[in-house]
Amino acid sequence: MRVVLSADMEGIAAMRSARAVLACCAEYWDSGRAAYTADVAAAAQGLLDAGATEVIVLDNHASGNPHNLLLDRLPQDVREESWNVFDLPAHGIDAMLQVGYHPRTGVAGFVPHSYTPRLRLRVGGEEISESHGRAWAAQVPLLGITGNAAHGRTLGSLEGVPFLVVQEGEDPHTATPVLEDPVDAIRSFAREALRGIADAPRFAPSAGVTFEATVSGEQLFAIELNEWTDAREPLASAMGTAMQPFMGHLRALDLTSREAFERQDAAACEELASLFLDAIS
């Protein structure tokens, strides 16, 4: 059985500061990457315990560094791929587990955003999160989600999916870990989630719904979808528009390693961090 582990960084168990998810901040290099890897490794091991023959990790986090995970700390039979989630049906995937998920834009919680800061998405009138978009694109059972409590309370049409709360807090810049032993809890959650695959829900939006995107309150489009696969290009376009304020700063900085980060202009790194932290406030 091949399982995709769709990972994001903001909803990780040991995450306390929004700065730890940004490669332009020392906190990311000091603790953020290791915390992210610990949750992903625990979930992957739980899936293997339950009989997964292969676990494919999709690192869905955009920190400024394309390599957020410490791959040498992942279990055997686990590998990272850069597949677009819309291409998962062509890869013969049997199920998806989401790890480290955060609240959508507009929800009071830690680092709230929908793919990018200030982007808001609605499908058939429902405001959706990244959990929705990725589960719909994968077209396989969604085994469960780990992440921030505020995300678990605002799942909407995904209500009923097994959800493990690993952090709490409504401050966009600060989270509070809630698990005494997150590695064991996440591993157990993933193991039981895969064992329950026969009852795991498979989601898709209704045919013929309207897909709307706004950035900072300004509507980018409202289009009719026959199916969620039709959203691939409009979603990418909306994300690109929302990312424009950050792109100049990202292009000017090399954040591909700790050593590269330390060579960058400290003021430029802080400017990018402030831009992001202001955008989620």
Residue recorded with tokens 């809890």: 185
What pLDDT sits at residue 158? 97
Express each pLDDT in 214-242 by its tens digit: 999 999 999 999 999 999 999 999 999 99
What pLDDT sits at residue 195? 97
For residue 255, what are the contacts with CB-CB under 8 A and spacing of at least 6?
23, 24, 63, 64, 65, 261, 264
Helix then strand then coil, in percent of the chain rounded to 5, is 40, 25, 35
pLDDT class of 206 with cuts at 50, 70, 90: confident
pLDDT class of 120 with cuts at 50, 70, 90: very high
Give the helix ranges, DSSP H, for 110-148.
130-138
Torsion angles phi and psi, residue 67, rounded to 5: -125, 80
How many whole angstroms separate alpha carbon 173 and alpha carbon 280? 8
Q: Terminal CA-to-CA distance of the chain, rounded, Å?
A: 41
In DSSP terms, 147 is beta-bridged to 101, 165
Least confident of 48-57, 136-145, 199-208, 238-247: 199-208
- Token pair of 110, please? 């830690």
Q: What is the DSSP letter of 104?
A: P
Residue recorded with tokens 């339950």: 50
251, 239, 246, 247: which is closest to 274 by C-alpha? 246
Q: What is the DSSP letter of 272?
A: H
What pLDDT sits at residue 212? 98
- Token pair of 97, please? 């587990």
What pLDDT sits at residue 77? 86
Asked if residue 4 lies in contact with residue 97, where contact means CB atoms within 8 angstroms, the answer is yes
Tell me if residue 142 falls in helix, strand or coil.
Answer: strand
Tell me if residue 223 falls in helix, strand or coil.
Answer: strand
Asked if residue 129 lies in contact with residue 101, where contact means CB atoms within 8 angstroms, the answer is yes
User: Buried b / exposed e across 112-147, counting CB within 10 Å, b at 16+?
Assistant: bbbbbbbbbbebeeebbbbbbbbbbbbbbbbbbbbb
* Structural domains for the chain: 2-279 (3.40.50.10780)
How many whole angstroms separate alpha carbon 91 and alpha carbon 138? 10
Residue 233 host element (H or E): helix 232-252
What pLDDT sits at residue 25? 98
Express each pLDDT in 19-45 by its tens digit: 999 999 999 999 999 999 999 999 999
Written in H, E and C, the secondary structure of 5-54 is EEECCCCCCCCCEHHHHCCCCHHHHHHHHHHHHHHHHHHHHHHHHCCCCE
- Is a pLDDT exceeding 90 seen at residue 18? yes
What pLDDT sits at residue 190? 98
What pLDDT sits at residue 83? 96
Q: pLDDT above 70 covers what percent of the chain? A: 100
Torsion angles phi and psi, residue 75, rounded to 5: -65, 160
In DSSP terms, 2 is beta-bridged to 54
Q: Mean pLDDT across the chain, nearest whole number?
A: 97
